[in-house]
Amino acid sequence: MRRTPPSDAGFTLVETLTSIAIIGVVMTALTTFFVSTTATLNKQRGLQMAIRLAHDGVELVKSMPGPSLVTGRSAKDVTAQFGKLKNGQIPGLAGLDVAGLLKAMTPAFDTNLGPLADSVTPVLPIVPEVMKVNNTAFDRQWFVGSCQMPLGSDVCGLLSLPGTLLPFYRVVVAVTWPNDRACKSTGGVCSYVTQTLVSASVADPIFNPLVTVTAPLPDNPGNQTDEVSVPMAKAMTLTATTAYPPLSWTVENLPPGLAYTPAGVITGTPTVAGTYVVRVVVTDKASSNDASFNWTVVPTPTAAPVDQTWDAGSAATYTLPVTGGIAPYTWAATGLPAGLTLNAATGVVSGTSTVSGAAAAATVSVTVTDKNAKKHTASFKWNTKVAVQFPTANTPIALTKGSGYTGNVGAAGGSGGYTWTATNMPPGLTLSASGALTGTVTGSTRYLVTLTVKDSNGVTNSAVVPVNVTTPVATDLRITTPTTAAPDKTGTKGTAIASQASAAAGGTTPYTWTATGLPAGLSINASTGAITGTPTTAGTSTVTLTVTDKVGATSVFMFAWKIT
């Protein structure tokens, strides 16, 4: 009895052979697919590089002046190059639309070379440029021809129409490379071709990243000074250094009254005083640059003297002030007191006034003239101080405690009508406004009296007069050290002084000492009266030394202490 094998017992021989056949068919199809894909990828890879090389060539062409594209390309070589293209002798370019290309332009060459001359270092090579990339050799070739474009059109061809025709160069960049599988139809050589138009005019601007355009360099004229209402002494002509003339100028923030031309000439008469920051901008055919400077317009001169007060008989010097105007100045004056003169070039009044009495209050008129002959006149007072005649300054007056005194002080000069005042008067003695000294002195020992006199014009003068008061009674309190014979002291800043003793006689002991007006850094011992310390400040101080006895009686001694 025949057995039937189970369904999963295995493949029969027929099934196995059928499967092998199917697998073979699939593998054959996949092999063809893989081969085709690889060929396509190789072609695309080469095409991408060809496009890059071609467009790099176009950018190079655009960066060059149009007329330079044919430099070095001889008519003989260009004709031969175009002949090979026309006859299909250039591998990979045989299928190019040669007829259409040649109809759109005529071969362009360097007319400076003879008809039978060879090319001489052409800017765009006539023979192929060989560039190897990833083991593939790419040939880049340049074809340069001439064409014309009517104004307002975008078609460049071989035209001979009336009207304006713009000259152009048509540059064809062709890149070829070998690929037996991808480009079988063109003899195993692939190609990519592009073209561009470049103006053949010598006046057209170009872009070239390798060329640095140097901006014009303006010559800064420096700060300027002029005067209101005075025309400029001469026109200012702006200048600049440039490689691309001609130049044109604009000027910003000129002082009112001034104007400029595009040629950079500034003229006019300023009308408003002030300081102006002027900016000049120069432009050549390629770029612009600027410079700035200050232009100061000063007002016309103004003499500004102030009233002067000087001692009669003393040397005087005063420089007349002026604002505005332009130096040098010239001065003139009328009404100067006798003994004084004016330096016309410097404006300095100097000399020794010999005037006294009512004429001492003089009205002086001065006129200043500047470089541009602008003038101004002003007046001021020249006062001669009142001279204190009696008592003589620094000559001590001797008085006695308890004795009455009557006297007068005097003055001369000024305008008369004197009024007197005094400070540090000995107790009991008074000075009237008319200059009468009266009274009975009740204090001791030494006083520095300041007498001040004022005339009817308000001009004042002062004198310091020492007054020595003696005590006729031996028991009266008095200061004996310092002495009236040598009262004043000196010292040096920063150097400790030797202890200065103070002593008194009369009265009832013990004594208490005080001092006001001591130089900074010095102090007094209240019990002994000794003055010690180190002076810290230079100057002259008026010191008032006071001693007080047990019952409250006092005595004063005033003196000067000079620290250098």
Q: Taking a C-beta distance cutoff of 8 angstroms, is the pair 256, 273 a contact?
A: no
What is the per-residue pLDDT across 317-375, written as a single tens digit (0 to 9) for each? 999 999 999 999 999 999 998 889 999 999 999 998 776 655 567 899 999 999 999 99
Closest listed residue to residue 252, CA positions, set 316, 295, 188: 295
pLDDT: is 166 or 35 the higher one? 166
pLDDT: is 418 or 379 the higher one? 379
Buried b (16+ CB within 10 A) or exposed e, 423-436: ebbbebbebeeebe
pLDDT confidence band for 155 (50 / 70 / 90): confident
Euclidean distance between the first and final Cα of the chain, in Å? 156
What is the per-residue pLDDT across 460-509, written as a single tens digit (0 to 9) for each? 788 888 999 999 998 999 999 999 999 999 999 999 999 999 999 999 99
Ordered structural domains, the chain, with CATH: 41-199 (no CATH), 217-270+279-285 (no CATH), 302-384 (2.60.40.10), 387-470 (2.60.40.10), 478-563 (2.60.40.10)
Percentage of residues in the chain having pLDDT higher than 90: 57
Under DSSP, the state recorded for 3 is: P
Q: How many CB atoms lie within 10 A of CB 336?
A: 18
Measured CA distances, 562 to 262, 353, 463, 518, 542 (Å): 72, 31, 18, 10, 9
Lowest-pLDDT range of 100-114, 178-192, 195-209, 424-438: 195-209
Average pLDDT of the chain, as a whole number: 87
Residue 43: per-residue pLDDT = 67
With 80 as the cut, is the pLDDT of residue 458 above it? no
Assign 101 to helix, strand or coil.
helix
Residue 34: per-residue pLDDT = 47
Task: Kindly report the pTM of this predicted structure.
Answer: 0.46
What is the per-residue pLDDT across 397-429, written as a single tens digit (0 to 9) for each? 899 999 998 888 887 766 778 899 999 999 999
Q: From CA 191, how far away is CA 177, in angstroms rounded? A: 7
Q: At CB < 8 A and 24+ separation, what contacts does 389-397 make?
A: 391/451, 391/463, 391/465, 392/463, 392/465, 393/463, 393/464, 393/465, 394/464, 394/465, 394/466, 395/465, 395/466, 396/465, 396/466, 396/467, 396/468, 396/484, 397/465, 397/466, 397/467, 397/468
pLDDT: is 510 or 179 the higher one? 510
Lowest-pLDDT range of 62-66, 145-149, 239-243, 266-270: 62-66
Tokens of 80: 């031969």
Lowest-pLDDT range of 24-38, 56-70, 115-129, 285-299: 24-38
Residue 36: per-residue pLDDT = 52
Q: Which amino acid is at 230?
A: V
Instruction: Please list, in sequence order, all residues whose beta carbon lies within 8 angstroms of the beta carbon of residue 103, skipping any fewer than 6 positions away.
Output: 157, 158
What is the per-residue pLDDT across 65-94, written as a single tens digit (0 to 9) for each? 888 899 999 999 999 998 888 888 888 887
What is the per-residue pLDDT across 442-452, written as a single tens digit (0 to 9) for each? 999 999 999 88
Tokens of 6: 């189970």
Q: How many CA atoms lie within 13 A of 475 on its CB side?
A: 1
pLDDT: is 491 or 15 the higher one? 491
Residue 96: per-residue pLDDT = 64
Closest listed residue to residue 477, CA positions, set 557, 406, 422: 557
Q: What is the DSSP string of 359-398?
A: GGSEEEEEEEE-TT--EEEEEEEEEEPPEEEESPTT-PEE
With 60 as the cut, is the pLDDT of residue 33 above it? no
Mean pLDDT over 139-147 rounds to 92
Mean pLDDT over 244-268 rounds to 95
What is the per-residue pLDDT across 190-204, written as a single tens digit (0 to 9) for each? 889 888 999 888 766
With 70 as the cut, is the pLDDT of residue 25 above it? no
Residue 1: per-residue pLDDT = 46
pLDDT confidence band for 35 (50 / 70 / 90): very low
With 60 as the cut, is the pLDDT of residue 531 above it? yes
Q: Taking a C-beta distance cutoff of 8 angstroms, is the pair 323, 376 a contact?
A: no
Mean pLDDT over 150-166 rounds to 77
Question: Can you point out the beta strands (E) in 119-242?
Answer: 129-133, 136-150, 165-178, 189-199, 217-218, 224-227, 236-237, 240-241
Lowest-pLDDT range of 303-307, 357-361, 511-515: 357-361
What is the per-residue pLDDT across 207-236, written as a single tens digit (0 to 9) for each? 555 656 788 999 999 999 999 999 999 999
Q: Does residue 121 have a cis bond before it (omega within 30 degrees)? A: no
Q: From CA 493, how far away is CA 450, in angstroms rounded? A: 27
Residue 26: per-residue pLDDT = 61
